[in-house]
Amino acid sequence: NSIEALRYRQVDGKVWLYDRIRLNTAVAREDHSFASVIIPYNDTLEEFVAEARGIIAAAMRGEGDAYGADSEKDTFVISVNPWYRLQFQFPQNAGENIPLSVFGKIMVDMQGRRTMPVAVSFHHGFVDGYQVGRYWEAFQHNLDTLSM
């Protein structure tokens, strides 16, 4: 939410700047079905993670609608693909200008270093390389400081 360019959306031909963007992601259930959930913005990463855990737990219990969140525009869509390593995947969000990120399988190399492929798609009319660079810096900072 700190990068203004990532909060722009085009809705019905008009450009909107949202105050806050929420996370839209799928939660896999044990029966191999899923639910789409919306996780609200929080001022700190710790608050965000705490609230996300409750929402995810509810979705895993069967609460929530698999497609109900897909019409929301004030979101950043995250797709998680932990089943195989992405070699290259350019995420597509057909007909939308909502940022989309795909996370692949976490791999551990011979030195014990973990890596995770991540692909991202933004509307280039709103976001350029500078903002993408700021996004990656913030993303890496959050990974480095997150305590599970």
pLDDT tens-digit profile of 50-108? 999 999 999 998 876 655 555 678 888 888 888 877 766 565 554 567 888 888 888 89
- What percentage of the chain carries pLDDT values higher than 90? 22
Please say whether the beta carbons of 36 and 68 come within 8 A: yes
pLDDT of residue 33: 84
Average pLDDT over residues 11-31: 89
Please say whether the beta carbons of 120 and 132 come within 8 A: yes
pTM for this predicted structure: 0.78
Average pLDDT over residues 106-113: 90
Give start and end residues of each alpha helix (H) in the chain: 45-60, 129-145
Question: Whats the size of the chain, residue-wise?
Answer: 148
Average pLDDT over residues 122-133: 89
